[in-house]
């Protein structure tokens, strides 16, 4: 059904409705439909660093996106964001798919932003990157390292995460996880994490706050975002403080099961293996410069390898050197503890990884945007090092 | 005081009035498009709007006349276009060539006004409430400049830069009146956006307001 709705929404522009504001006679009901096209060409090493997956020298990832906003009065809003592309992660559905990324029904309780309640499928409130993840808002083509790099936690077969298996992988006697199907493994946060659920959030002059209750964990693969099963929910909260417009700080927390659907539940149930995360984000901006970063600590419970812990961070900057033209840079790391082995021995379950990135963006017109992005990753022995992307986006 | 002096005093005011050039005016109505380009003012994610969003400014068109001797002064005074309640103060600002527009921010959050229009490409960056000095942009060339805010997509306005010292803005119904025009035959222009433009010849007579009828947009 979700896909049918998405397909209808994708077809809407060709029915002559797209790109236009729509208003009822008394202006009580308003709608705004915004189609766009994003076309990215990726090229680089194999296996691909990050969440992409392809075998050719280059991969063409076009995306037709349709966003629609509607309001009834000043308190009720609907937002829909659908896509037709070759997979949420480049190459994950190379033959193409139609997907509903966001479908939000929001009730604004007051005339200002003090308190909103929304339900549906929506991006997580965790951290500081997600509010700017849209192609036309993000300075880069690739998500920051914690949002785009898998780590050695098996979300669909947690029982396989034994000290023996970790040791075999570490010693090279078993395939490294990055060469395996990436959907079986966790990312610290998987992209914007469009999961389903309910959230309450708001803003005042100095504070932002949000609590969300959703069906899938932050590390869950996109297929799990649509699973309407709230038996093992993930609860996430964020508190942001803005002393003035220049500075923004936030702390986030998330707790819930990381085991995804399809996992063989032999010696455990999904609720018995949980992950917890705590994050700190900060942003400073003034005139043409924005500097922002995040630090995320995560711990994953396992059946036999102890608690697997990661610390992931990144720092990024964007500088507009001319109207519509910017340059950007980013550096990030993922550091991990050792898994519990036999006796007191610790086993490396996750290599330390770092990634350095550079990007340029040129907003040629208010509708047309070109971006180029280069990423160099080190430490992940099973994946390549270099990834280069060129993207062109057009908003109709 | 002799009679000649008394006559001089009595005649002086009328002589001064006669020296002041007689002017006329033009009035009419611009057929504003029924469809406006307003966008729902709701943020998808938190952090960019912390107060109440005001109603969008009503759509208006700019009107001006062009002709010999009507070019703007070399140093037109600066004009202010503020942002308050996450909206521009007006949807349409008409300025003469060479004018400087000041963009004060009266909201607690950042605004970032920019334009990628061919007439004027600029980006003032992110600036705070009542930042001093407020960002300012000088518009040298005549043309239509669409304004946007990088942070708040719903914010829309336009600066219409005209090569004239006689200009005005319609009300929301499209009505306008231009007064104080020197008598003569000129070209009357009106513009709503990049594509909705009107122009027609108009003759200004001293002491009267000429009624004009602008119909379909000129292409």
Does residue A373 contact residue A141 with C-beta atoms inside 8 Å? yes
Q: Tell me what the pLDDT averaged over chain A comes to.
A: 88
In B, minimum Cα distance to A367 occurs at B116
Does residue B176 contact residue B188 with C-beta atoms inside 8 Å? no
Of A21, A113, A365, nearest to B116 by CB-CB distance is A365
- Could you report the predicted ipTM of this complex, rounded to two decimals? 0.85
Query: What pLDDT is attached to residue B116?
Result: 94
Does residue B99 contact residue B78 with C-beta atoms inside 8 Å? yes
Beta carbons of A21 and B35 less than 8 Å apart: yes
Distance CA A86, CA A218 (A): 22
User: Does the beta carbon of A288 lie under 8 angstroms from any beta carbon of chain B?
Assistant: yes
Q: Which alpha helices (H) appear in B24-121, and where do they start and end?
A: none
Residue-wise burial string across A110-145, b where 16 or more C-beta atoms lie within 10 A, e elsewhere: eebbeebebbbbbbbbbbbbbbbbbbbebbbbbbbb
Kindly indicate the confidence band of residue A26, based on its pLDDT and cuts at 50, 70 and 90: confident
The contacts of residue A110 (CB under 8 Å, 6+ apart) are none
pTM of the model: 0.88
User: Does the beta carbon of A203 lie under 8 angstroms from any beta carbon of chain B?
Assistant: yes
Does residue B122 contact residue B158 with C-beta atoms inside 8 Å? no
Q: Is A323 helix (H, G, I), strand (E, B) or coil?
A: coil
**A172 conformational bin, left if phi > 0, alpha if psi -120 to 50, beta if neither:** left
Q: Strand order of the sheet with strand B121-123? A: B92-96, B156-162, B143-149, B113-116, B121-123
Of A131, A244, A366, nearest to B116 by CB-CB distance is A366
Whose tokens are 């000649």? That residue is B4
Query: Which residue, among A287, A367, A395, would best test binding to B if mutated, counting the most B CBs under 10 Å from its CB?
Result: A287
Q: In the CATH hierarchy, which top-level class contains the domain A36-42+102-395?
A: mainly beta
Query: Quick one: CA torsion of A196, A199, A202, A206, rounded to 10 degrees?
Result: -80
Query: Quick one: CA torsion of A43, A47, A53, A56, rounded to 10 degrees?
Result: 50
User: Does the beta carbon of A123 lie under 8 angstroms from any beta carbon of chain B?
Assistant: yes
Residue A72: strand pairing partners? A29, A76
Averages of pLDDT over each 10 residues, chain B, 219 residues: 52 47 91 70 78 90 93 89 96 96 95 96 93 94 96 94 96 95 95 92 94 75
Does residue B29 contact residue B176 with C-beta atoms inside 8 Å? yes
Give the domain range for residue B40. Answer: 21-211
Q: Is the predicted pLDDT of residue A9 greater than 70, yes or no?
A: no
Beta carbons of B47 and A244 less than 8 Å apart: no
Chain A residues inside the 8 Å CB shell of B49: 113, 203
Of B39, B110, B146, nearest to A245 by CB-CB distance is B110
Name the percent of chain A lying above pLDDT 70: 90
Minimum mean pLDDT range among A29-43, A87-101, B3-17, B40-54: B3-17
Token pair of A204, please?
Answer: 């005042």
Domain-located, residue B219: no
The contacts of residue A200 (CB under 8 Å, 6+ apart) are A115, A116, A117, A210, A211
Domain parsing of chain A, residue ranges: 36-42+102-395
Query: What pLDDT is attached to residue A157?
Result: 81
Distance CA B219, CA B216 (A): 9
Q: Is the predicted pLDDT of residue A30 greater than 60, yes or no?
A: yes
Of A108, A203, A363, nearest to B47 by CB-CB distance is A203
Beta carbons of B38 and A77 less than 8 Å apart: no
Q: Look up residue B101 and give its DSSP letter.
A: E
Query: What pLDDT is attached to residue B16?
Result: 45
Chain length of chain A: 396
Q: Is the predicted pLDDT of residue A163 greater than 80, yes or no?
A: no
Query: What pLDDT is attached to residue B217?
Result: 62
How many structural domains are present in chain B? 1
Q: Look up residue A270 and give its DSSP letter.
A: G
CATH number at residue B124: 2.60.40.420
Distance CA A63, CA A48 (A): 20
Beta carbons of A69 and B39 less than 8 Å apart: yes
Distance CA B218, CA B197 (A): 5
Specify burial of residue B93 (Cβ count, 10 A radius: 0-12, 13-18, 19+). buried
Chain B residues inside the 8 Å CB shell of A248: 47
User: Does the beta carbon of A201 lie under 8 angstroms from any beta carbon of chain B?
Assistant: yes
User: Does the beta carbon of A179 lie under 8 angstroms from any beta carbon of chain B?
Assistant: no
Rounded to a whole number, what is the distance in Å from the CA of A293 to chain B's nearest CA? 15
Query: What pLDDT is attached to residue A13?
Result: 40
Beta carbons of B123 and A244 less than 8 Å apart: no
Q: Look up residue A29 and give its DSSP letter.
A: E
Query: What pLDDT is attached to residue B195?
Result: 87
Domain-located, residue B54: yes
- What's the whole-number mean pLDDT along residues A306-312? 94
Distance CA B163, CA B97 (A): 6
Kindly indicate the confidence band of residue A384, based on its pLDDT and cuts at 50, 70 and 90: confident
Q: How far is CA A133 from the centre of its chain?
A: 8
Beta carbons of A210 and B46 less than 8 Å apart: yes
Query: What pLDDT is attached to residue B11?
Result: 47
Chain A residues inside the 8 Å CB shell of B83: none
Residue A119: strand pairing partners? A105, A198
Beta carbons of A113 and B45 less than 8 Å apart: no
User: Smallest Cα–Cα separation from A161: which of A184, A179, A191?
Assistant: A184
Q: Is the predicted pLDDT of residue A17 greater than 50, yes or no?
A: no
Beta carbons of A113 and B51 less than 8 Å apart: yes
How do B79-80 and B99-102 pair as beta strands?
A: parallel
Number of C-beta neighbours around residue B13 at 10 A: 9
pLDDT digits (tens, 9 = 90+) for A213-229: 999 999 999 989 998 88
- How many inter-chain contacts (A to B, CB under 8 Å) are there? 105
pLDDT digits (tens, 9 = 90+) for A190-215: 999 999 999 999 999 899 999 999 99
Token pair of B168, please?
Answer: 């005005």
Domain-located, residue B216: no
Rounded to a whole number, what is the distance in Å from the CA of B133 to chain A's nearest CA? 13
- What's the whole-number mean pLDDT along residues A224-240? 93
User: Does the beta carbon of A69 lie under 8 angstroms from any beta carbon of chain B?
Assistant: yes
Rounded to a whole number, what is the distance in Å from the CA of B54 to chain A's nearest CA? 10
User: Smallest Cα–Cα separation from B161: which of B146, B174, B142?
Assistant: B142
User: Does the beta carbon of A117 lie under 8 angstroms from any beta carbon of chain B?
Assistant: no
What DSSP string runs through A33-92? EEEEEEEEEEEE-SSPSSS----SSEEEEEEEEEEEEEEETTTEEEEEEEEEESTTTTTT
């Amino acid at each position: 059904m979700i896909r049918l709705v998405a397909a209808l929404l994708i077809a809407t522009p060709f029915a002559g409705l797209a790109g236009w504001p729509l208003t009822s006679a008394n202006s009580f009901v308003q709608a705004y439909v915004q189609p766009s096209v994003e076309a990215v060409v990726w090229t680089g090493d194999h296996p691909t660093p990050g969440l992409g997956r392809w075998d050719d020298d280059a991969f063409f990832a076009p995306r037709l996106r349709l966003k629609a906003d509607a309001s009834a009065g000043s308190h009720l809003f609907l937002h829909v964001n659908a896509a037709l592309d070759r997979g949420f992660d480049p190459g994950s559905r190379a033959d193409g798919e139609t997907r509903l990324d966001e479908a939000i029904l929001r009730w604004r309780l007051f005339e200002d932003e003090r308190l909103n309640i929304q339900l549906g499928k929506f991006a997580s409130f965790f951290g500081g990157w997600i509010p700017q993840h849209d192609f036309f808002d993000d300075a880069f083509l690739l998500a920051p390292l914690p949002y785009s790099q898998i780590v050695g936690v098996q979300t669909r077969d947690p029982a396989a995460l034994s000290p023996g298996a970790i040791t075999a992988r570490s010693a090279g006697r078993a395939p490294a996880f990055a060469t395996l199907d990436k959907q079986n493994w966790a990312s610290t946060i998987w992209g914007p994490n469009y999961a389903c659920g309910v959230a309450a959030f708001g803003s005042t002059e100095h504070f932002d706050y949000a609590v969300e209750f959703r069906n899938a964990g932050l590390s869950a693969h996109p297929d799990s975002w649509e699973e309407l099963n709230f038996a093992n929910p993930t609860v996430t909260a964020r508190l942001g403080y803005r002393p003035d417009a220049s500075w923004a700080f936030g702390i986030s927390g998330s707790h819930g099961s990381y085991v995804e659907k399809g996992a063989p539940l032999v010696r455990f149930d999904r609720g018995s293996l949980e992950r917890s995360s705590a994050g700190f984000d900060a942003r400073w901006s003034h005139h043409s410069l924005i500097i922002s970063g995040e630090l995320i600590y995560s711990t994953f419970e396992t059946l036999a390898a102890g608690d697997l812990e990661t610390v992931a961070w990144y720092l990024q900057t964007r500088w507009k050197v001319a109207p519509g033209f910017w340059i950007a840079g980013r550096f990030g790391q993922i550091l991990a503890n050792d898994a519990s082995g036999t006796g007191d021995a610790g086993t490396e379950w996750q290599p330390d990884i770092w990634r350095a990135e550079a990007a340029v963006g040129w907003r040629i017109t208010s509708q047309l945007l070109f971006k180029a992005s280069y990423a160099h990753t080190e430490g992940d022995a099973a994946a390549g090092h270099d990834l280069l992307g060129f993207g062109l986006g057009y908003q109709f | 005081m002799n009679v000649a002096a008394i006559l001089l005093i009595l005649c002086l005011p009328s002589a001064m009035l006669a020296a002041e050039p007689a002017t006329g005016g033009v009035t009419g109505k611009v057929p504003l498009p029924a469809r406006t380009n307003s966008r729902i003012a709701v943020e998808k994610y938190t952090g960019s709007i912390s107060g109440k969003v005001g109603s969008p400014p009503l759509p208006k068109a700019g009107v001006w006349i062009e002709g010999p001797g009507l070019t703007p002064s070399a140093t037109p005074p600066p004009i202010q276009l503020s942002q308050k309640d996450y909206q521009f103060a007006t949807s349409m600002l008409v300025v003469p060539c060479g004018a400087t527009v000041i963009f004060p921010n009266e909201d607690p959050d950042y605004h970032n006004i920019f334009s990628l229009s061919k007439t004027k490409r600029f980006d003032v960056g992110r600036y705070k409430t009542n930042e001093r000095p407020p960002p300012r942009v000088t518009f040298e060339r005549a043309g239509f400049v669409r304004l946007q805010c990088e942070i708040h997509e719903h914010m829309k306005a336009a600066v219409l830069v005209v090569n004239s010292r006689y200009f005005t803005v319609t009300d929301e119904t499209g009505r306008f009146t231009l007064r104080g025009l020197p008598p003569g035959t000129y070209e009357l222009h009106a513009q709503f956006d990049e594509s909705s433009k009107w122009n027609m010849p108009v003759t200004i007579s001293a002491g009267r307001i000429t009624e004009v009828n602008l119909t379909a947009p000129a292409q």
